[in-house]
Amino acid sequence: MKSFYVKTFGCQMNENDSERIVTILRRQGMTPAASEEIADVVVFNTCTIRENADNRFFGQVNKLRERRAVDPGMRIVVAGCLAQGEQAAIFERAPHVDVVVGTHALGSIAQLLERSDGERHVIDVTEASDGLDPLADLVAEPTDGHKAWVTIQTGCDNNCAFCIVPQVRGGEVSRPFQAVVDEVRSLASQGVTEVTLLGQNVNSYGRDLTRRMRREEIESGDRGFLTGQVYVSDSIPRIRPLFADLLRAVGAVDGIRRVRFTSPHPKDMREETFQAMAESPMVCESLHFPLQSGSDRILAAMHRGYRGERFFEKLQLAREIIPDLAVTTDIIVGFPGETEDDFEATLELVARCEFDSAFTFIYSPRPGTEAGEWRDRFIAPEVIAERFERLKLVTERSAAAKHHARVGRIEEVLVDGPSKRDATVASGRTRQNKLVHVAGLDGDRYRGEYVNARIFDAGAHFLHGELLARD
C-alpha cells in the first residue's frame, strides 16, 4: 500500500479540508507516513490569503524537486486555495508537481492520482455549482480524538477589497441544518467532546437555505432537514440566518461539552447570536470578532459594512449578554491609503476594545482583489513596520492585562497533550480558548480529558496553572 503525507497551510477551513483528504486517502487503502521525506504521495493543502503563504509553499514544494526526479513512483499533489486560483503559476514555478486540485474538487483526489500514473500535470479546478456544495457529503473522520472541525458553510458573499476568498472558495453555500447536527452527533459517538463550527461568515449561515425555502417547493418532510424545526415552526417564516438556531441545536447534542465557531463578520453579527451563546451552556465564552481597522475611512474602502463605533457597540453588547467573554480580533496594518490619522484611529479603538489577543497582519496585495490594484496608494514598508510595532504594544498590553486578571482563578482545561517546550508540562485550553500550561501533568496520558487548574501566573499569550482535581 502507498503512504501519504498531508501538509496544511492557512486557516481552520484548510485544516478541515486536510482531514477530508486524509479520510479519502485512507479509504483508498493508503497509510499515513511520518514525514514528507518518506511518503509516496505528498499533498500540500495551500493558502493564498497572503503573499508569504505562497512563498512558504513554493519554498517547501521545491525541496522535493530532486527526490521527485529520481523517484518516478512518487506523486506531489497541490490542493486548496492557491491551487484554485493560481494553477498555471504552480506548474510554471514547480513543474515537478503532478496533480493540482482546487477547493471544490477535493473529492476527486484519488481519481486524479490514478490518472497521474499515465498523464503529466493532472488538474481539476472545477468551479462551485451555484447554490450547491460539491463537498457537502464528504465528512472527515476525526483525527484528534477529542476535538473536531465541522464545516457548516463554504464560500463568502462579501466583497472585502483585500480578500481573495470569494474568488477561490466561491459564493456562500450552507450545509443543511440537520446534516450538521447529525455530523456532530456522530462525532460525539466517537468520543469527540469539543467541536468548532467553521464558515467564512458563520453569522449568515442558513440565509441561503431559508431563501431556497421561499423560492422552491420543498417537501414537508425535507424542510426540517434543510432549515431545522425551529425555522419550520415559525408562524411567518422569513429569509433569515439560522446560526443562533444551530448553536442551540449543536450545544444540545449528548456528549458535546464545548462548542466554538469561527469566523463571524461584525456587520452580520446579531443580538440573537449573543443570546444563544449565553443561553447554551456548551457554547464557549469565546468570540473572534475581526475589526481589521479602526478608521471609518479605511473600513469604507475595505467594504466592511460597519463603522468603528458600531463595531464597539456590538462588542459592548456581547460583553453585557455573555459573562466572562474573551474576545480576539484581526487587524490589518498598511492597507492602501492608510494615513497616520487612520492608524491613530485604529490604535485608539483597539485600546478601547481591550481585546484578549489580536492577530495583526501587514497588508498583502492579492492578484484579483480590488485593493491589489491600488498600487499608487501602497504604504512604504518602513512606515508599515513602525506602525506594526506600535500596534503590537497596544494589543499585548490589553492581552497581558486580561490574562493577569485570571491569576488566582480556577479554570477548566481541556488537555491537548504535552507542552511543545517541556514534556513534563501539559497544555490545554480553557472555555475562553486561553492556552494553559499545567505543571506536573502527563499530557499524553490525560490528552482529551478535562481538569481543573488554579492559575498562578500569566503572560501575554498563555497562563500557568497547577492541577487541582480531575473531572
Average pLDDT of the residues in 157-174: 92
Which is it for strands 41-46 and 3-8: parallel, antiparallel or unpaired? parallel
Cell of 235: 408562524
Say if residue 144's pLDDT is above 80.
Answer: no
**Lowest model confidence (mean pLDDT) among 65-74, 120-129, 226-235:** 120-129
For residue 406, what pLDDT band results from cuts at 50, 70 and 90?
very high
- Considering only residues 275 and 263, tell me which one the structure prediction assigns the higher pLDDT: 275
Instruction: Check residue 197 and give its pLDDT.
Output: 97
Could you read off the pLDDT of 271-312 as tens digits, one per residue? Answer: 999 999 999 999 999 999 999 999 999 999 999 999 999 999
Instruction: Check residue 133 and give its pLDDT.
Output: 62
- Residue 303 makes CB contacts below 8 A (sequence gap 6+) with 158, 159, 160, 161, 370
**Count of CB atoms situated within 10 Å of the CB of 74:** 17
Contact 439, 425 (CB under 8 A): yes
How many CA atoms lie less than 13 Å away from 72 in the CB half-sphere?
4
Instruction: Check residue 138 and give its pLDDT.
Output: 73
Q: What single-letter DSSP state applies at residue 117?
A: T
Q: Which helix (H) or strand (E) is 331 found in, with range? A: strand 326-333
Instruction: Check residue 1 and give its pLDDT.
Output: 56
For residue 86, what pLDDT band results from cuts at 50, 70 and 90?
confident
Say if residue 361's pLDDT is above 70.
Answer: yes
Instruction: Check residue 130 and give its pLDDT.
Output: 57
Could you read off the pLDDT of 204-217 as tens digits, one per residue? Answer: 999 999 998 888 77
Instruction: Check residue 183 and give its pLDDT.
Output: 94
Cell of 149: 472541525
Q: Is the dihedral of CA 350, 356, 361, 363 positive or negative?
A: negative
For residue 97, what pLDDT band results from cuts at 50, 70 and 90?
very high
Average pLDDT of the residues in 173-188: 95
Domain 3-124 fold:
Rossmann fold (3.40.50)
Average pLDDT, the chain: 93
- Considering only residues 132 and 431, tell me which one the structure prediction assigns the higher pLDDT: 431
Binding-site entries: 11, 47, 81, 156, 160, 163
Pick the CATH number of 129-284 from 3.10.129.10, 3.40.50.1980, 3.30.750.210, 3.60.20.10: 3.30.750.210
Strand-by-strand arrangement of the 147-151 sheet: 147-151, 194-198, 258-262
Instruction: Check residue 206 and give its pLDDT.
Output: 96
Binding-site entries for [4Fe-4S] cluster: 11, 47, 81, 156, 160, 163
Average pLDDT of the residues in 355-383: 96
Which is it for strands 463-470 and 450-458: parallel, antiparallel or unpaired? antiparallel
Domain edges within the chain: 3-124, 129-284, 291-405, 410-470
For residue 104, what pLDDT band results from cuts at 50, 70 and 90?
confident
Could you read off the pLDDT of 5-25 as tens digits, one per residue? Answer: 999 998 998 999 999 999 999
Instruction: Check residue 332 and give its pLDDT.
Output: 98
Instruction: Check residue 131 and give its pLDDT.
Output: 56
Instruction: Check residue 145 and give its pLDDT.
Output: 85
Average pLDDT of the residues in 337-341: 98
Does a cis peptide bond (omega within 30 degrees of 0) precede residue 263? yes
Say if residue 87's pLDDT is above 80.
Answer: yes
Instruction: Check residue 469 and give its pLDDT.
Output: 60
Same fold, 129-284 and 291-405: yes
What Cα–Cα distance (Å) separates residue 176 from each residue in 103, 111, 446? Answer: 20, 27, 35
Asked if CATH classification 2.40.50.140 holds for the domain at 410-470, the reply, yes or no, is yes
Instruction: Check residue 129 and give its pLDDT.
Output: 60
Which has the closest alpha carbon to 250: 175, 320, 323?
Answer: 175
**Lowest model confidence (mean pLDDT) among 148-152, 165-169, 425-429:** 165-169
- Considering only residues 140 and 73, tell me which one the structure prediction assigns the higher pLDDT: 73
Domain 291-405 carries which CATH code? 3.30.750.200
**Structure-derived torsion over alpha carbons of residues 83, 335, 52, 81, reported in degrees to the nearest 10:** -20
Say if residue 470's pLDDT is above 60.
Answer: no
For residue 440, what pLDDT band results from cuts at 50, 70 and 90?
confident
Contact 318, 274 (CB under 8 A): yes
For residue 132, what pLDDT band results from cuts at 50, 70 and 90?
low
Q: What percent of the chain has pLDDT over 90?
A: 80
- Considering only residues 331 and 217, tell me which one the structure prediction assigns the higher pLDDT: 331
Average pLDDT of the residues in 393-414: 97
- Residue 463 makes CB contacts below 8 A (sequence gap 6+) with 403, 406, 407, 411, 430, 434, 435, 436, 437, 455, 457
